[in-house]
Structure 1
Amino acid sequence: MEEAKGLVNHVVLTKFKDDVAPERIEDFIKGFANLVNLIPPMKSFSWGKDVSDTSMHQGFTHVFVSTFESTEGVAEYLAHPAHVEFANLFLLCFEKVIAIDYKPTIVKL
C-alpha cells in the first residue's frame, strides 16, 4: 500500500433539517462546488446522497468530498474568507454534520 503523495480528502457528512427547502439544499451544493473556483488548494469537489440499504448511515443523507493538495491546503481552505462566509451561511441548515480529513492510500494488488 502506498499513501498518495500530498493529497488530502476532506469528507463532510450532513443531515439537513427537515424544514430546509430543496432549493436551499441546491443552493448549498452549488455554493460548495463553487469554492473550487475561489480557493486554489481545493482541487476537486464531488457529492452524492445516501443510497444505502442498511441503517448504518446514522441519519446522514448527503456526502461531500473535496480533494486538496496537502494538509496545509485544507488549513488554508478552512480559514479562507470564501469558505468562512459559506459555512456561516449554511451551518444552521444542518441537523447533523461531521467532517473528516484523510490521506488516501492506494492499494496495489
Structure 2
Amino acid sequence: MKRILSLLMVGLLLAVGTYAKPPKKVMKNAVVQHIVLFKFKPETTPEKLKEILTAFEALPSKIKEIKGFQWGTNNSPENHAHGLTHAFILTFDSEKDRDAYLPHPAHKEFGTIVGPWLADVTVVDFTNQAK
C-alpha cells in the first residue's frame, strides 16, 4: 500500500511539474495590438449583430496591414465589463500599419455599419513589450 501511495505521489509531482511551467509563447516584439470593445444598443437585433460581425471579419481581407484578427464575446465571471459584450484584437506589424488602417476606406465603411448600433466603444492599442 505504501509503495502504491509513493508511486501515486511521484506521478502527481511529475504531473504538477509538467503543468506548473507552461511554455512561454511570446509574440514578435514590437507588434501593435489594437483592442476594440463594443457595447451594443438594446435594440440591436441578432440579424444586425450578425451583419456587423461579418463586416468586421471581412476587414483583414480588405486591409493588407491587418496581420491578425480575433474576436469573441465576453465570458468573464468578474463582472467588470461595464456592458461591453464583444472584444476584437487586430494585430499590426507596426504603428505605421495601424495608422494606415485607421483612415482606410474599408475601415471607414465598417464604421458606418456599426456606428448607429453602438452604445459604447473602448479602444486600446499597445506595442508588445514582452521579451
- The question of a shared fold, defined as TM-score above 0.5 by the shorter chain, is answered with yes
**1:38-97 alpha-carbon deviations (Å, 9 max, x no partner):** 111101111111111122111111101111111011111011111111112211111110
Percent identity over paired residues? 32
Higher helix share: 2
Corresponding pairs, count = 106
Q: Mind listing any 5+ residue stretches in structure 1 that lack a counterpart? A: none
Match of 2:61 among 31, 37, 40: 37
Q: Is it true that 1:47 corresponds to 2:75 in the alignment? A: no
Distance 1:47 1:3, change over 3 A: closer
Looking at structure 2, the residues matched to 34 and 23 of structure 1 have their Cα atoms a distance apart, in angstroms, of 17
Looking at structure 1, the residues matched to 113 and 53 of structure 2 have their Cα atoms a distance apart, in angstroms, of 12
Question: 1:39, 1:77 within 8 Å by CA — same for their partners in 2?
Answer: yes
Q: Is it true that 1:104 corresponds to 2:128 in the alignment? A: yes
Question: 2:29, 2:130 within 8 Å by CA — same for their partners in 1?
Answer: no
Which residue of the partner structure matches residue 78 of structure 1? 102
- CA offset at residue 4 of structure 1? 3.8
- CA offset at residue 3 of structure 1? 8.3
Higher relative contact order (CA 8 A, sep 6+): 1
Q: What is the DSSP-based 3-state SS (H/G/I as helix, E as strand, rest coil) of the residue aligned with 1:53?
A: coil
Higher strand share: 1
Question: 1:3, 1:103 within 8 Å by CA — same for their partners in 2?
Answer: no
CA RMSD of aligned residues (A): 1.6
TM-score, normalised to structure 1, is 0.89
Q: Is it true that 1:22 corresponds to 2:10 in the alignment? A: no
Which residue of the partner structure matches residue 60 of structure 1? 84
